Amino acid sequence: MPTSQQFICKRCRTLVNVQLFEQTKDGVYFCRCTECNAKNTVVQTGATPSQPGILPVTGLID
């Protein structure tokens, strides 16, 4: 059972544990993939990174 929030990277399709939520200057939240370092924009659910769940990824940031 997962002990943290996870997401599926849009670039490499790896299931990744959320390490940290980051925010752009425009207010968009994203998480970095630990495999390919892609910035995946995610939907904030209000849960902390340690709460289990799969976050929806809406796209990639260049």
Spatial separation of the C-alpha atoms in residues 54 and 24, rounded to whole Å? 21
Indicate the residue type of 60: L
* pLDDT above 70: residue 3: no
What is the pTM assigned to this prediction?
0.86
33: exposed, middle or buried (Cβ count in 10 Å: 0-12, 13-18, 19+): buried
Q: Which of 3, 54, 4, 9 is nearest to 35 (CA)?
A: 9
Structure confidence by residue, pLDDT tens digits, 10-28: 999 999 999 889 999 999 9
Residue range 32-59: mean pLDDT, rounded: 91
For residue 32, give the 3-state DSSP assignment.
strand
